[in-house]
Amino acid sequence: MEINLVDQDHYARDGVPHEQLKWLRANDPVFWHKGDPELGWPGFWAVTKHEDVVHVSRHSELFSSSKKLALFNEMPEEQLELQRLMMLNQDPPDHTRRRSLVNRGFTPRQMGALEEHIREICHNLIDEAAAKGTVDFVTDVAAPLPLYVICELLGAPVEDRNKIFEWSNRMIGSEDPDYAGTPEEGQMAAAEVYAYANQLAAQRRDQPRDDIVTKLIQPAENGEVLTEDEFDLFVLLLVVAGNETTRNAASGGMLTLFDNPAQWERLVRDRSLARTAADEIVRWVSPVNLFRRTATRDTVIRDKQIKEGDKIVVFYSSANRDEDVFDAPSSFDIGRDPNPHIGFGGGGAHFCLGNHLAKLELRVLFEVVAQRLPNLRQAGEAKRLRSNFINGIKTLPVEV
């Protein structure tokens, strides 16, 4: 079988290359994937089994997020330094310090306190959709929900949600013809987010509120505080990670329910299944397809000799359909329990900070959609994002 796990056009046309990943899990689970000198990226080890993705995730001392960053594409050395200030691109102990400062705003109790507000947002979005009749589930429902929640977390005006949506699209969609500008435009979007974060921080210093920004600009109990760059990069991470993942899990989940009408009928009959459905949607969609690590020294994964400096790419979409971990992994089952998916990361330092919030948003959204729109129908073809990083859906027409 010809293997190309990073062909952007394949993702845009057909989504994740599950047949290739299934073959690799069975035949070559730590696979040396050839590079593409023309596109500027070297060969890499493709890690496709659940156990091995967890191993890489939990051993930051062997597999670094900082040396060459956590994203797939190569970056010139002069850009690496600033990017290493972002938690996503850090290893312990730097990451541990930063994470402990940021954790203050993301306790399960604080996230749970948002439930009624999230429910109200979902009902309002459904009201607006029902008034229109035919809508795009992505832009009218799945995208606004996390944007409203991010505005709530930041204490930002809700009218800023469109700016946040546009910044996020420009940064994530650089390989997609509908979103793409030049790399410089993606950098400009990031600069606009930095400026926005600075403005929020300045406002909260003058007028503290009960929001994440106020918590994060104050010193922790030990007196430590985030620097200006650290705070700006945290807001950037929140804008992208807090928006893209939930948006694409929600839209991918809705599309999957259309493709599996018996599961949709189960949810309509028993909305308590929304709790397990949220996890199954994250497993099935795997909104983040891959992350990259760099070997810090010679090591071994299974029987493969990994050399210091080698590029390693872990595929969550593959791990989440591993036949050794999941019963009937190619079946979508909203009642699946237990569900040891790693759609929020394989544990270790970089386990998703917002996993409680993401599951809460998905659970409440699908409860409300099943309650209010039991006869919701797909009204046109879904269009996928041209990206091997985010398993994204750009449009999903629905009829209310």
What pLDDT sits at residue 245?
A: 87
- Residue 277's domain comprises 8-399
Higher pLDDT, 109 or 174: 109
Identify whether the C-beta of residue 165 lies closer than 8 Å to the C-beta of residue 143: yes
Record the tokens describing residue 400, joined without a space.
């209310």
Domain annotation covers residue 261: yes
The answer to the question of residue 230 being in a domain is yes
Closest CA to 283 of 254, 318, 313: 318
* CA–CA distance, 343 with 47 (Å, rounded to integer): 15
Overall average pLDDT of the 265-269 stretch: 98
Give the per-residue pLDDT at 164: 87
> pLDDT (tens digit, 9 = 90+) per residue, 82-124?
889 889 999 999 999 989 888 887 888 888 889 999 999 999 9
Query: Could you read off the pLDDT of 62-73 as tens digits, one per residue?
Result: 999 999 999 999
Cβ–Cβ < 8 Å for 364, 116: no
Check whether 173 has a pLDDT greater than 80. Answer: no
The dihedral through the CA atoms of 100, 91, 347, 392 has a sign that is positive
* pLDDT for position 156: 87
Residue 200 has pLDDT above 60, yes or no: yes
Read off the tokens for 150: 């991010």
Closest by Cα among 82, 131, 135, 117 to 361 = 117
The tokens for 310 are: 């080698």
Question: How far is residue 137 from each of residues 308, 361, 377, measured CA to CA in Å?
Answer: 45, 15, 11
Residue 211 falls inside a structural domain: yes
Q: Tell me whether the omega of the peptide bond preceding residue 93 falls within 30 degrees of 0, making it cis.
A: yes
The number of beta carbons lying within 10 Å of the beta carbon of residue 38 is: 6
Residue 106 to residue 288: CA distance in whole angstroms: 20
Residue 25 belongs to some domain of the structure = yes
Residues 360-370 have pLDDT tens digits of 999 999 999 99
CATH of the domain at 384: 1.10.630.10
pLDDT at 175 over 90: no
Show the tokens assigned to 36.
């593409």
What the block records as the tokens of 131 is 């008034």
Of the candidate ranges 46-50, 114-118, 220-224, the one whose mean pLDDT is the lowest: 220-224
Question: What are the b/e assignments for 70-82, b being 16+ CB within 10 Å?
Answer: bebbeeeeeeeee
User: What does the DSSP 8-state code read for residue 345?
Assistant: -
Q: Is the per-residue pLDDT at 374 higher than 60?
A: yes
What pLDDT shows up at residue 287? 96
Q: Identify the sign of the CA torsion 91, 193, 285, 366.
A: positive
State pLDDT tens for residues 348-362. 999 998 899 999 999
Q: What pLDDT, on a 0 to 100 scale, did the predictor assign at position 94?
A: 92
In a domain, 2, yes or no: no
Question: 204-218, 251-265, 331-345: which range is least confident on average?
Answer: 204-218
Give me the number of domains the chain comprises: 1
Q: Report the alpha-carbon distance of residue 180 to residue 114 in Å, rounded.
A: 34
Answer yes or no: is 197 within a domain.
yes
Residue 78, SS3 per DSSP: helix
Mean pLDDT of 261-279: 98
The answer to whether residue 248 sits within a structural domain is yes
pLDDT of residue 399: 97
- Output the CA angle 232-175-65, nearest 5 degrees: 50
- At residue 181 the predicted structure's pLDDT band, cuts being 50, 70 and 90, is low
Q: What CA–CA distance (Å, rounded) separates 339 from 342?
A: 9
Is 249 a member of any domain? yes
Q: Please check the confidence at residue 180 and state whether its pLDDT lies above 60.
A: no
Any residues with CB less than 8 A from the CB of 327 and at least 6 apart, and which?
Answer: none
**Residue 221 structure tokens:** 């109990």
Q: What is the pLDDT of residues 122-170, one digit of tens each?
A: 999 999 999 999 999 999 999 999 999 998 888 888 888 888 888 887 8
Side-chain half-sphere of 182: how many Cα atoms within 13 Å?
3
